Structure 1
Amino acid sequence: MKQLSLCLLILLAVSLTTSAAYEKVKPKLELQEIQEFIGQWKGVGQLKRGSTQGGWIEESHWEWKFTKQDSALVYESPKGKFVKELRVSFEDGVYVARGVNADGKKIELRGKRDDSGKLVLTNAEMTLPSRISFRTVAAGKRMVVSFERKLSAALYTRLGEVGATRKGSMFGKGVQEVVCIVSGGKGTMPVTFEGKTYYVCCTGCRDYFNENAAEIVAEYRMKQLKN
């Protein structure tokens, strides 16, 4: 009986440890679901879909940011018509985006990905935009960003939309893309360790690699052996 109780205690301890470990990495795993956003983008903004009147050119970029406390994806568009920057984290089961709008006011939006994979973020305050959605098309080579104003509890109207292309995208058939050794996203920047070249997807992953290269490469090699 004592042995059975001891076994149950051990199983409980292992279960709790596993659960705690998963909760620690869960935010990063959820952010990896939208890491296709990472990269530099340039496109055309429209106030009304299909009309060039009032149109503008907008550039933006997404990258990883790692700290000892958490991980986040950062969106920056210095000349953005509606939003200048957002820091997207995953908290309490939802994506949380905190940043600054075009008027320099602080904003906070929360939301989830819908069934199509589009990230929809809603602002509970009166500041604009009331809702932002991000989605990629054309195998991740194009991104559509929609900005909306809230009219009522369930009704929104368009502020504008930006259709952007990832810089450096190649649309030809058979194009092979390398993988970021840190996040598993699309590798675009070379880094080296012990004379060998690897790739990362953004400056955030580059900095993290440079600080933890031995550990990251060892983990990468273990995965390669398993495959």
Structure 2
Amino acid sequence: MYLRHSVSVFVSTLSLIFCVGCSSDSSDTQNAPEEVTVDLGGGGVELGSGGGIEMESDLASETNSPKTKPARRFQPITLGGGSTPTTTTGSEVPDEQKFDNVLEALKPLQIMLGEWGGTTFKKIGGFSSVETLGWVWDLQTNPAQPALVMNADKSRYYEDARLTYLTDKQKYQLTLTDKAGKKRIYEGNFSVPLKKVPGDDDPNVMHSTYKLSLAMVEPADEKKHAQIILNQQNNDRYMFEIYDLRGDSYARIDTINTRRKGTSFAKSDSDYGDKTCVISGGLGTSQVTYQGKSYWVCCSGCRKAFDANPEKWIAKYEANKKKTANQ
């Protein structure tokens, strides 16, 4: 009797539990955890009702069926608040265009082309230093960066110089090398702009005058010879002024007074007619020949460049002549 009663109670209890389970609505989401989006600085990570991070799956999207709930697609997780920055680089200036720009900036200075004799103002042991120096074009060391280069014989200060123009900085750059091989690099611009003035001997001959002031940039902490000024007096004379940095100002320590030997290689920038240098546009002083035709060059540097690639320079020369004629 007792056993039958226990079985009856047990069966009733099971029925009650079963009925309660049947009455529950499986779609009821009242107590289900809500979906949460966690922003980590990128596209976000969605935490679903299962509580775990649902990862993107190509396989899940391909097997989308009533029995298989497709996985949600999310943006990639990005930590650190954004995408990786990209560097935008402007288009590089073609070498030919850069060459033309540098050459144009150097044209006012090609008055220095040729051979010069220099004498220092400062005397050591009662004597000034006497030197011979020459300026020529260098168009081959760096095809995109033409330069005026100087070599000095028996110079007290510098044996070699290289003068060019930096298009990105819009500054002139002078590199000097002394007898010990030490290099100093200067940058600057005209402190007195280029002018054309009548000559003292012949008012019909126009002379170039300017001051190009250059401050040392390498070595940065150097005070000796911290500034160089190229002071063009006329077509046949310029002064190479050397300054030390003393406190907050420059003090001139010496000047090399230079005078031209022989012909003025490049008195101006144009109007030389048939004697125009095929490369620089300066005054031609000697001729070169290609395929039976002769052309003028202004210095040994232009001669070397022409000999290395005559077709290139002839094509540029003819194009410039045509452009000038159409203006």
Q: Same fold judged by TM-score > 0.5?
A: yes
Structure 1 residue 103 displacement after superposition = 4.3
Alignment partner, residue 209 of structure 1: 306
Q: Which position in structure 1 is the counterpart of 2:121? A: 46
SS at 2:127 equivalent: coil
Please say if 1:132 is aligned against 2:228.
yes
Give the C-alpha shift of residue 168 in structure 1.
0.8
CA shift at 1:37, angstroms? 1.4
1:152: which partner in 2? 247
Q: Secondary structure at the match of 2:276?
A: coil
On the 8 A contact 2:163/2:175 being kept in 1, the answer is yes
- Map Cα deviations across residues 165-194 of structure 1 (whole Å, 9 max, x no partner): 222137xxxxx9743210012322321223
Q: Larger C-alpha radius of gyration, 1 or 2? A: 2
CA distance in 1, matches of 2:136, 2:314: 20
- Confirm whether residue 57 of structure 1 aligns to residue 57 of structure 2: no
Shift of the 157–122 alpha-carbon distance from structure 1 to 2, 3 Å rule, reads same
Contact 1:47/1:158 (8 A) holds in 2: no
Structure 2: any 5+ residue segments left out of the alignment?
1-89, 194-209, 265-270
Instruction: Give the TM-score of the pair, scaled to structure 1.
Output: 0.75
Question: Post-superposition shift, 1:222?
Answer: 4.4
Which of 88, 95, 102 lines up with 1:27 in the alignment? Answer: 102
Q: What is the deviation of 1:145? A: 1.2
Structure 1: tracts of 5 or more residues without a match: 1-15, 171-175
Q: 1:127–1:77: structure 2 CA closer, same or farther, 3 Å change rule?
A: farther
Partner of 2:64: none
Is contact 2:99-2:144 (8 Å) kept? Answer: no
Residue pair 2:137, 2:149 contacting (<8 A) in 1 also: yes
Alignment partners' CA distance in 2, 1:43 and 1:71: 25
* 2:266 is the counterpart of 1:165: no
- Percent identity over the alignment? 25
Q: 1:79-94, aligned counterparts within 5 Å?
A: 79-91=154-166, 92-94=169-171
**Helix, strand or coil: the match of 1:148?**
strand
When residues 220 and 201 of structure 1 are mapped into structure 2, their CA distance, relative to the original with a 3 A threshold, is: same
Q: Which has the higher contact order (CA 8 A, sep 6+)?
A: 1
Determine whether 1:68 maps to 2:143. yes
Alpha-carbon RMSD across the aligned residues, in angstroms, is 2.8
Q: Is the 8 A contact 1:82 1:102 kept in 2?
A: yes
Measured in 2, the distance between the counterparts of 1:158 and 1:188 equals 36
Residues 1:195 and 2:270 aligned together = no
Q: Partners of 1:193 and 1:137 in 2: how far apart?
A: 38
Q: State how many pairs are aligned.
A: 201
